[in-house]
A and B are shown apart, each in its own frame.
Chain A
Amino acid sequence: MQIEQIEILNFLKRYSPFKELPDDLLHQTAMQVDIGYFKAGTPILRFGESLQALHLVRSGAVETYRRNGVLYNRLSEGGIFAEQGLLRDKTVIFPATAIEDSLIYFIPAACFELLYQSDEVFADYVEIGDTQRKKSGVLADKSSNDLMSSEVRQLIGRAVVTLAADATVQQAAQLMQQESVSSLLIVADQSKDAALVGIVTDRDLRNRLIAAGLDYQQKVSVVMTTELVCIEQHQFVFEAMLVMLRHNVHHLPVLEEGKVLGIISIADVIRYESQNSLYIVSSIFRQQTVAELQSLSTELASCFVRMVNEDANSRMIGAAMAVTGRSFKQRLLELAEQQLGPPPVPYCFLALGSMARDEQLIVTDQDNALVLHNDYDPVLHQDYFAALAQFVCDGLALCGYSYCSGDIMATNSQWRQPLRVWQQYFTDWIEKPDAQRLLNSGIFFDLEGVWGQLQWADQLNQQIRRQVKANADFLACMARNAISRTPPLGFFKDFVLENDGQQNNSLDIKRRGTAPLADLVRVHALSIGCAATNTYERLLAVKAAGILPKGRADDLIDALEVIAMVRIRQQAKSLQAGRAADNKVKPEELSAFERKTLKEAFQILSFAQKFLKFRYPGGRQ
């Protein structure tokens, strides 16, 4: 005789992780469910009790607590609880109380274990703290995209062709013809382990030999490029693209432990992935006016959406968007110099904040500044640089990078100063921090040179690393500042649940997620004098330095990815729906899975903030 638990079955079919189960497992589960009614205010689970079942809220609402009585979670229809206890020793870890009259479905422990053992999706869903699950949550339905997931070594077609530096240019050209290659590696001499000294490409022969009218019998060392830009064999193809675009080279030697494995050319990459999301960058440099650049910004939006749909991770997207933003600035500065004439003194244009960290998304303020030569004389040069800054900032605004609401732009004369003034700024901020200076530090201490005298940006970065590392008081102030913005507790029904039980309709995922996380990681990174600006790279350095408890750095890396990807996907969804993208996340637009992974990421962040307070105590008030 067939028992049809129709209502139970239908209910399970509506909620994760049950709705993802195959029919037979789902049916078996429905048959094993028992039910209980709990009046509002009645305890459902008490700490330390033995657990016999996974609990599922059929109707009503339930709160779970930590042992110290602090709210852990609030669940509504479809929410599960007690899974952590079942996964450990089958005793209650988080006590639960009905806060509305509630009907609870009990899924017996044996049934839970069967589902957990036999169904990967189910196991992923219920397993708290497992790093793999958070990643698979972010990259659910991953469909592989070659450009994004292939390593550069896959592009190496043949062994490298080398030539000794004392050969002639003609010999080089003959060798290239004979081997059908467009580049040669130049080595010091004929010996087997000769040192690599340069590279010669088709383009070098054209530009440095033929165009310059040199003799074919010149030594090849005269026309070769000596500053080699290389890439490691395990890096991704998209990273090779970025390196090529950034350094304006078409050939990259691929290294394995310092030895050249082969060379990849831009043609290899294009052949490999003709539909290239990042190709927009090169077209930026072909645009002749600001209006033409502006027309590219819609292509940028569709490029962003395409990358999201191709399941690129947040690092790829952040790096691609940052490279694009950088290219816009570079092209605008070229155009400005064309219009205004060459600069009266050298300068360096700085990108700040998310772009400097390679974490720029589609919705972003322009944070930038100008570092001028120490010979800068306001009387003589002020007009030129004010006009240059105006040109670039207006141009960026037209291209979709809105003006910075905090006026952190090169148009602000305070942020258009000679190098020595910048050095003094930074020293003052670090030696005598106050609220405003700490705020500034959070923005300016992630800086990157975009155009001009890039070595000045390096100098400033070195200064920051040196001075901050030695200053425990400043670190403590930064740490306090970094925990001023906290993540929410999680979600309840269609609300954002705050730690004090308040409910909000939406969440600013930048303010409450990515920004505090970047702030937090910056403090750790500066404390170890880490040179990286990217939050992920900083986390790797922090992990290697061993200043966090074991496993915490990895947790933070996962949390970063989860939060960043939710933000990115929300923006892509808005763009696809024809709306302007922003940082607001509405709980009703998140899947149950996203809510759960996001909530766990928030918990990791929250814990890391507590640790930060503990790690950098004291400091001036």
Chain B
Amino acid sequence: MSPKKFKFAFLFIAILLFPVFDRNAYHMDLATNVALYGLLAMGLNVVVGFAGLLNLGYAAFFGIGAYTYALLNLYCHWPFWLGLPAAGLVSMFFGFLIGIPSIRVRGDYLAITTLGFGEIVRIVFNNWDEVTGGPNGLLGIARPSIGSWHFSVNATPYFYLVFILVVLTAFFLYRISDSKIGRALVAIREDELAASCMGIPTLQVKLIAFGISSFIAGLAGCIFAAKQTIITPDSFDFVLSVLILAMVVLGGMGNLWGAVLGAVVLGALPELLREFAAYRMLIFGLLMILMMIFRPQGILGGSLIKRELAKRQKDETDATA
């Protein structure tokens, strides 16, 4: 086993055993939320980091996932395990929808379009009282169950559920980033015109990125709804979109592990430093400004580019030697 694989295996087992050693309910709840943030940050990273398209309405997809499961469960009595893929797919559908303007709309304009979309979704949740319950939201959403065993208030099973999804998603995205699609996404990020000249079907690739990204958010939203059993529109506001974006930026846009690191740092630190709770958002803002000025590539940096460049340099030195 290589040292890198060993490190991963160690980390994996440590996280897996964490709930066994730490039985504090509050810590478990926090860990579950951090894992959910990790899932969201990885999902947003597909669009923002890989494809270089800024999505400022990501919380809307999280919300669409949550409301999809909640409505299916409350009105049609769908169980969680059916609701989970449904939430992902419905959210993905809206992801395609918001991806379509990216044919014409570029860069910062696209960012504002997604922001507008996110706000519209939130206002619809808030105002469509007959279906979404308006500002009071929906309550009494069923928790998941396996056979005759039901999830309860205890966050531990949710933690494992989200952790499994995080691992699966990370593996999936890791494979994607090395695939044809992953490379096409990076090509579009670096130079869209050049990419399309090289025969990359830029629209399809961008839509795939939006689709994957919103599918992941939909899954996270479904779990969130099942864990909370109550959802209200203000859980899915612009602040959440920016929070997830800040995680991606902090860890390093385009870096798979960077998104997870960003989620752990920004998700857990404010809770651990409770006395500074009032300054939390102030510090987020400051952090985003400072990161952009001093380290725009994030803590871990955009690994894809770095790896490519290192490889190219090595090839060149090999060629000249």
Bound pair (A, B): no
Which residues of A pack against B, CB within 8 Å? none
